[in-house]
Amino acid sequence: MESEMATRLKRSDLMSLEQYSEQRSEFRRKVIAHKKFRRVGIGPHLFLYFEDRLTIQYQVQEMLRIEKIFEAAGIEEELAAYNPLIPDGHNLKATAMLEYQHVAERKRQLALLRGIEDLVWIQVEGFDPVYAIANEDLERSNTEKTSAVHFMRFELEPDMITALRGGAALKMGSSHESYRHSTDVDPRTREALLADLH
């Protein structure tokens, strides 16, 4: 629990609007470089963007900037909304996006892919797949379609983390009947994600 609290962002971790304005370009470059190996494509249209403390700090800073939030209560509200997206040391957390270029195709596919958010998995070599726990903050699908964006948490057993640290391969995939795809995770991405697991 202590390490979980330690990963959380506090107001004192954030830059003021003025500081952020001065450092934004440099900070943005740093975050883009950091995110490079935190993205996994599953098939042609489903992408998992794995979040951590730095990616979430960037999102919070951007939100405060856009909304011009500088009062303590408003900042705490944003932190309360975003902190649950930071991994806790025994899980991986991702923003999942279904990406289609054409509006008509996206609409058709989102209707076809209802329930996909519960059928996305990650698998450590030698273990059963771990399915996503999706959208704990709010329901993003209805009886007609799924959403293009989902928030996912993957809970890993201690043995799985030990195996990953020992060099076990990592796969990710979807077992939805209309979107059966899987991929072997790039070793550089695997290394980046290992940093989320204390």
Q: What pLDDT digit, counting tens, does each position of 147-180 carry? A: 999 999 999 999 999 999 999 999 999 999 999 9
- pLDDT beyond 70 at 6: no
Helical packing angle, 17-35 and 53-67, nearest 10°? 140
pTM: predicted TM-score of the whole model, two decimal places: 0.90
Residue ranges per domain, the chain? 1-36+53-86, 43-51+87-198
Position 7 scores a pLDDT of: 81
Q: Rg of the Cα trace of the chain?
A: 18
Fold exhibited by the domain 43-51+87-198: Immunoglobulin-like (2.60.40)
194: Cβ contacts below 8 Å, ≥ 6 apart: 164, 165
User: Per residue in 75-103, pLDDT tens?
Assistant: 999 999 999 999 999 999 999 999 999 99
Position 2 scores a pLDDT of: 40
User: Per residue in 101-138, pLDDT tens?
Assistant: 999 999 999 999 999 999 999 999 999 999 999 987 66
Helical packing angle, 187-194 and 158-165, nearest 10°? 130
Separation in Å, CA 92 to CA 7, 17, 139, 190, 195 = 13, 30, 20, 11, 10
